[in-house]
Amino acid sequence: MNLQKVRTLLICALVQIGSVFFTVSASAQSQSRERSTSELGIGLGGVVYKGEIAPRYRFLSNRPALTVFYKKDVSRALSLRANLLLGRVNADDAQYEERLPLAAYRKATVSTSILELGGGIDFNFLDYYDFRRNVRWTPYFTLGVAGLVYNNKTTGADPTILYPETGTNDSYRTSFAVAVPIGVGIKYALTHHWNLGVEFGARVLFTDMFDNLSGQNEKVMNPHHNDWYFYNGISLSYTFYRINCPQD
């Protein structure tokens, strides 16, 4: 994904999220719901990176990840969400060197720890809190903006290939980045309060430094495509209900 497409995606995401925030108060005033709902939950899953050292999504490359989230329903279809994600990704050229000559030449490995804080919206396709339904569930689409701090180290079997200026592998470094999380999920009501969820999402990064190769030897990296990482997991959440008293 080139820089222009990434910028366009970010602008679209910000416009969509901003429009939701600006219409929350109007939506809340126009609705006459008898109750308001919110969720607090925790999720377990995996994160996986896609970039120079891992050019394809590979499910077996997932590493454990933990997420904590809060959702506030503003209408039957829309929920505001905030989430914190902690995970670690690893990638190794050895997984691709039999098929990709560049991987066989570069022989690099990358290890990255991630701490992500994000916010956005969920669009629920069904009325999840319609208690007339025998089974309450809904698929949903999620879109947001996230900031992350990551600590990584990229090493090569021959350091002069990755770092021709120094001839030695770099040590761990800490950096910051912005991403656009996009995903889909399904939420299912276990009880009146407890919910089970499954979610898969991609993080479109606004950097090509996630694997620490950008700015080094351009013969071993693609400067025209930014890095990505993905999260997939299951969650358990608890719904809080508040009765809205009618106004005079």
Q: How far is CA 242 from CA 72, 144, 227, 238, in A?
A: 12, 26, 42, 13
* Signed CA dihedral, 176, 181, 185, 191: sign only: positive
d(CA 242, CA 108): 53
pLDDT of amino acid 24: 43
**Residue 115: how many other CB atoms lie within 10 Å:** 13
Closest CA to 117 of 172, 70, 62: 70
Q: Which amino acid is at 65?
A: A
Phi, psi of 76 (to 5 degrees): -65, -25
Residues paired with residue 204 on neighbouring β-strands, in sequence order: 180, 228
Instruction: Pick out the chain residues at pLDDT < 50.
Output: 1, 20-32
Give the residue carrying structure tokens 């990551």: 150
Q: Which of 209, 206, 207 is nearest to 170 (CA)?
A: 209
Place of tokens 């366009």: 8
Terminal-to-terminal C-alpha distance of the chain: 54
Please state which architecture CATH assigns to domain 3-18+44-241.
Answer: Beta Barrel (2.40)
| pLDDT tens track for 78-87 | 999 999 999 9
Write down how long the chain is: 248
Q: Which of 23, 186, 156 is nearest to 91 (CA)?
A: 156
The CA-atom distances, in angstroms, between 185 and each of 39, 95, 234 are 15, 29, 9
pTM listed for this prediction: 0.81
pLDDT given for residue 172 in this prediction: 87
